[in-house]
Amino acid sequence: DVRHGPILYLEDVTVSFDGFKAIDTLNLTIDDGELRCIIGPNGAGKTTMMDIITGKTRPDSGKVWFGSRHDLLTMSEPQIASLGIGRKFQKPTVFEALSVFENLELAMAADKRILPTLTARMTGEIRERIDEVLLTIGLVEQRQRSASILSHGQKQWLEIGMLLMQRPRLLLVDEPVAGMTEQEMERTAELLTGLAGKQSVVVVEHDMGFVRSIARKVTVLHQGSVLAEGSMDQVASDPRVVEVYLGA
Ligand code: ADP
């Protein structure tokens, strides 16, 4: 399906911690269905930016909109999450004592909206959704296995699956391939590129090879604002980006 317009819109966003501007006049637009990679040196403001989008950190000034209808600065963290904004932190937090299937089931139950109407029919729908998600994350054969015996990569995919259970419209993903093998990275690239289009995906990542393999558009953050934006080749050949990364 063809979609139009931005799903996420940040305008002139600034936030200071003890007088230090961690985010400084940041402008960012993410289109619906887009897969965007955010890169930048340590301290560039990437984590703070994600915290602002999810409502964990409140900016001092600026605008943050989700679609054309939701002013995120007027909403609480749970309200923002319930719009369909899911965040995956770097460290996987799957429930090790449960099976892959049960982890996905639990992720669905965590959606408060469905609990009061959990009928037999809904249960069937949840099973179907779990099957769909298992296929997407490539863990069909592991469905009955304990999450504790999954590889690091498989745990990361399961956690993405847990977010997908609630059909998010925007996924924020923090360093998905840290600690992964080459093969796991390739599978993660397929997974994330496959998700884009169905939902928007914003990935913060340090591994440039991985970024190059998935992103059509890359945003380089530096000192809390956008230093460069474009294809990986465009930003990698931008002298300002080279200077920031090499410290020249
Ligand atoms: P990145 O994720 O790109 O490494 P961060 O968003 O974590 O960058 O940090 C941006 C800057 O803001 C850093 O200089 C960091 O020290 C500072 N910072 C982030 N959060 C806080 C906080 N809660 N209190 C004080 N300084 C902070």
> Measured between alpha carbons, how far is 127 from 34 in angstroms, rounded to an integer?
28
Instruction: State pLDDT tens for residues 213-230.
Output: 998 899 999 999 999 999
Indicate whether residue 45 lines ligand 1 (CB < 6 A). Answer: yes
194 is in which domain, residue-wise? Answer: 6-246
In a domain, 136, yes or no: yes
Tell whether the model's pLDDT for residue 11 goes beyond 90.
yes
Q: Which of 15, 17, 221, 244 to mutate to test the pocket of ligand 1 (most atoms within 8 A of CB)?
A: 17
Tokens at residue 14, please? 């600034």
Instruction: State pLDDT tens for residues 155-209.
Output: 999 999 999 998 999 999 999 999 999 999 999 999 999 999 899 999 999 899 9
Dihedral (Cα; 51, 56, 61, 65), 10-degree rounding? 80
The interface predicted TM-score (ipTM) is: 0.96
Q: What is the CA(25)–ligand 1 centre distance, in A?
A: 15
Report pLDDT for 180.
95
Give the CATH number for residue 65.
3.40.50.300
In a domain, 32, yes or no: yes
pLDDT band at residue 1 under the 50/70/90 scheme? very low
Tell whether the model's pLDDT for residue 2 goes beyond 50.
no
Between vectors from CA 68 to CA 112 and to CA 89, what angle results, nearest 5°? 50
- The total number of structural domains in the chain stands at 1
Minimum mean pLDDT range among 18-27, 109-118, 192-201: 109-118
Q: Residue 185: CB partners within 8 Å, gap ≥ 6?
A: 177, 207, 210
Q: What is the CA(47)–ligand 1 centre distance, in A?
A: 7
Q: Which of 47, 50, 202, 223 to mutate to test the pocket of ligand 1 (most atoms within 8 A of CB)?
A: 47
Q: What is the CA(248)–ligand 1 centre distance, in A?
A: 23
pLDDT band at residue 137 under the 50/70/90 scheme? very high
**What's the mean pLDDT in 47-61?**
97
Tell whether the model's pLDDT for residue 79 goes beyond 80.
yes
* Higher-pLDDT residue of 187, 122: 187
Q: Mean pLDDT across the chain, nearest whole number?
A: 91
In a domain, 175, yes or no: yes
In a domain, 1, yes or no: no
Tell whether the model's pLDDT for residue 126 goes beyond 90.
no
Tell whether the model's pLDDT for residue 116 goes beyond 90.
no
Q: Which residue has the tokens 């605008």?
A: 63
In a domain, 139, yes or no: yes
Report pLDDT for 112.
54
In a domain, 116, yes or no: yes
